[in-house]
Structure 1
């Protein structure tokens, strides 16, 4: 009897570690980049990908952001089928783009459209850093410019969530031209009396930060977001000075007057509802 009992214990004790690990499904847990604690991925998603412990804001996919912001089934996407070509015949560019399309389910690194936020209409452009790091190519600029024009024509306020590593080098000057194109569209929109709300998320850098991302009537950012044009190392080498530890963070930009507010992701929808309500009596866009 004792022999059988100890024999069973020995049997269970000798299960290989690699077999035991297979009992835990992959992708079930997520480690916070801020405090390094581990949470269930479902728990993080329910909290809008914000760490429940330290409040660190992890990247949020474009469709997840739209889902948590717009009223259910109210969102209508614009220009879904626009796809970047390879105008400069850059080696390997087509293959990289196709790989990102398959990985993300997106045709480009921005989703544009319109819908209702707590019953109030608004147009939006949401950049997604999981697609080519949100780099700005010709289609990104075209979709954003078209969205702004649509907002002007339909008398809608316009909200943009920026997330980008800058201009896309594979498209050269065609990418840089998008800075001008989007800025002109915003000027036309503003001259017509349109309301633009810009939210800079992590990261918002390069030509995006130097153009449409900084041209809102309200310029907000998520906590801890990296916001700037050139990188820290380049700036330090140029000015030959050591920069503050919090340089180019959202909090640093707010302290130096470059932002109106740093907004927690869970407070974003309430803030938008308030602003849209404040401005809805301002008259229609002509």
Structure 2
């Protein structure tokens, strides 16, 4: 199987001093996802958790929603001259009777590490294929203080990032701020798919009592994946896109961006942000009685 990191020789220049040294880089290799033996998608990813990545991708596409929907996932022999396995092709076999809603196997989707399925989905498509409407799930609430603590907790366990500086991370947290799972990948959408795929394989979907935190920006694809997995709150350390905000507002997703230090912007779903303590403190400071 492929390695998560690789070593390369670099020319290092620091304050005029020149030297050569080996550098640790994050590995990036293509993964072809097949469904029932037919090519479905190719994504550039960091090797590891490939079965979870494939399963999470199918959750995001609305194909599966339970562990029982997937009969098997296997590696296929790669296209090498000696017929050896490159571990860069996986085939997903669905359980008998599982339909393929809203998907065309002949489209041969190519996804990059930066954008996911750019422009493929629409707001209507997500609304009609989401299995677990977020507005109908039990509500969770998070204080600004709890959200502000999450990036530090995520960063503290990014082991591969510490070695390479070149990976995105996605972390799944409980409403109390406990880190439930962490995945790293060269593509932010792959990291999220790996989280969702692991949850599917462990029978934990929908993720209605969780908070998803991503390093980098919150694109439409990431908001889509959160909605499709039933995640009610998505937070990002950088900016969201306009379409991500539109999807969040329409689906009921709470979307937080620019989560840095004690500051953040809430773009949609502010009902899940618990501001009661701050409001009570402000009333007390102004000499007003605090009401519940």
Asked if TM exceeds 0.5, the reply is: no
Q: Which has the higher strand share?
A: 2
Q: Which has the higher helix share?
A: 1
Indicate the structure (1 or 2) with the bigger Cα radius of gyration: 1
TM-score norm. by structure 1 comes to: 0.28
TM-score norm. by structure 2 comes to: 0.28
Q: Which has the higher contact order (CA 8 A, sep 6+)?
A: 2
